C-alpha cells in the first residue's frame, strides 16, 4: 500500500456513505486527474470493517479486467494511522459527472433516442459483466453511474456490492429508495435480479428525466410500485415475508407505462416492463436485456 506522495492539487468533490472523495492529479502518470476516495475506519478488536475490505477486494478483482463500463481502481494508498482509526485512499478513475447531473443539465425536450439506447446498452453491458463475475452491484442509481464527455458509461461505487455464489441469497436492505425492487422492500431474499429492476427504473428515467417510482418513504414505496405495475399474482408473492398478499391485492391492473412514458417507443416500453417485473424469477437477465428488440440495429462503439 503506497503513500500519497504521487498525488497533488487535492479538491473536495463529494461525500458518500463510505467516505469523502477528492479530485487530484497523478504526478507519475502525466498529471491525469484521479478520484481519491478517503475512507476513515475505526479499528476495533476485530480489525478493519468488513465493508471496506469487501470494497477493496472487489475493486482489485475488477482491476484485472479493465472493463470500459466499470470505473477503474488505479491504486490504494495509506494515510494517517491513529490509535483507534486508520485512513486509506482508493485511487480511482475520475469522471466529471454522474448520470443524475447529466440528466439535470439536459435541456427540453430531453435525450435523443439514439443516446438513450447507447447509455442503456452500456449500463446493461456493465451489469452483465458484474453478474458474469458473480458480483451484484446492489446500489445502482443515477448518482453512481458516471458519464464521460464522450458519453461513455462507467458503473461506480461498489461499496455495497458483494461477491455471491450462484445460489446464494442476499438479505440486508441496501438499495436506494426509488430503485429498490419489491423483494428488497418486502425483506425477502434476493440476488442479481435486484440490479435489473434498478436498470428498468433508470432506463425509464432516461426518457422522462424523473423517477418512475418516486416513493416518499420506505413504507409508501411498495404502494407506489403497485399503483403502476398492478397487483401481483398470489403465486408471485414471496413466501418468506411477514406481509400477506391480501394486504396488497387491491391495486388492480396498474397503469399503462406507455402513458407514463410517452416519449418512449413501444420496444422501450416492453423492455422497461420486462425489467420492472414484480416476480424476480421472471425478470430479464442483463444478457437477455441486451438481446431485446429495443436494441435491434444498435451498434455499440468499438473500444
Distance CA 136, CA 159 (A): 11
Helix (H) or strand (E) holding 4: none
DSSP-assigned letter for residue 271: H
Q: Which among 281, 182, 174, 270 is positioned nearest to 224, based on CA atoms?
A: 182
139 is catalytic: yes
Distance CA 283, CA 16 (A): 30
Pairing of strands 7-16, 32-42: unpaired
Copy the grid coordinates of residue 252.
Answer: 388492480
Q: Which residue do the cell numbers 446492489 mark? A: 138
* 37 annotated binding-site participant: yes
Catalytic residue among 26, 75, 98, 139: 139
Q: How many residues in total does the chain contain?
A: 303
Q: Are 181 and 170 in contact (CB under 8 A)?
A: no
What are residue 298's phi and psi, to 5 degrees? -80, 130
Copy the grid coordinates of residue 214.
Answer: 418516486
Q: Which among 148, 135, 134 is positioned nearest to 93, based on CA atoms?
A: 148
Which residue numbers belong to the known binding site? Answer: 37
Catalytic sites, residue numbers:
139
Which residue numbers belong to the known binding site for ATP? Answer: 37
Amino acid at each position: 500500500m503506497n503513500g500519497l506522495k504521487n498525488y497533488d492539487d487535492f479538491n473536495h468533490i463529494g461525500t458518500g456513505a463510505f467516505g469523502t472523495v477528492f479530485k487530484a492529479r497523478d504526478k507519475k502518470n502525466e498529471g491525469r486527474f484521479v478520484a481519491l476516495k478517503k475512507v476513515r475506519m475505526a479499528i476495533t478488536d476485530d480489525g478493519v470493517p468488513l465493508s471496506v475490505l469487501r470494497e477493496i477486494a472487489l475493486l482489485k478483482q475488477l482491476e484485472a479486467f479493465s472493463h470500459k463500463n466499470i470505473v477503474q481502481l488505479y491504486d490504494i494508498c495509506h494515510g494517517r494511522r491513529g490509535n483507534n482509526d486508520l485512513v486509506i485512499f482508493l485511487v480511482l478513475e475520475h469522471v466529471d459527472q454522474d448520470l443524475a447531473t447529466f440528466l439535470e443539465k439536459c435541456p427540453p425536450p430531453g435525450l435523443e433516442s439514439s443516446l438513450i439506447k447507447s447509455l442503456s446498452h452500456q449500463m446493461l453491458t456493465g451489469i452483465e459483466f458484474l453478474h458474469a463475475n458473480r458480483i451484484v452491484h446492489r446500489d445502482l442509481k443515477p448518482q453512481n453511474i458516471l458519464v464521460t464527455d464522450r458519453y461513455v458509461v462507467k458503473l461506480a461505487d461498489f461499496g455495497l456490492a458483494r461477491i455471491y455464489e450462484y445460489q446464494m441469497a442476499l438479505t440486508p436492505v441496501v438499495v436506494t429508495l426509488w430503485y429498490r425492487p419489491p423483494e428488497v422492500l418486502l425483506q425477502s431474499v434476493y440476488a442479481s435480479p435486484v440490479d435489473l429492476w434498478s436498470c428498468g427504473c433508470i432506463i425509464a428515467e432516461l426518457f422522462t428525466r424523473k423517477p418512475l417510482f418516486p416513493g416518499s418513504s420506505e413504507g409508501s414505496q411498495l404502494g407506489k410500485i403497485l399503483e403502476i405495475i398492478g397487483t401481483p399474482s398470489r403465486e408471485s408473492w414471496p413466501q418468506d415475508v411477514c406481509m400477506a398478499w391480501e394486504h396488497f391485492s387491491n391495486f388492480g391492473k396498474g397503469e399503462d407505462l406507455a402513458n407514463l412514458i410517452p416519449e418512449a417507443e413501444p420496444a422501450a416500453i416492453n423492455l422497461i416492463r420486462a425489467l420492472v417485473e414484480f416476480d424476480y424469477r421472471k425478470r430479464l437477465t442483463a444478457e437477455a436485456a441486451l438481446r431485446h428488440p429495443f436494441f435491434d440495429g444498435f451498434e455499440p462503439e468499438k473500444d
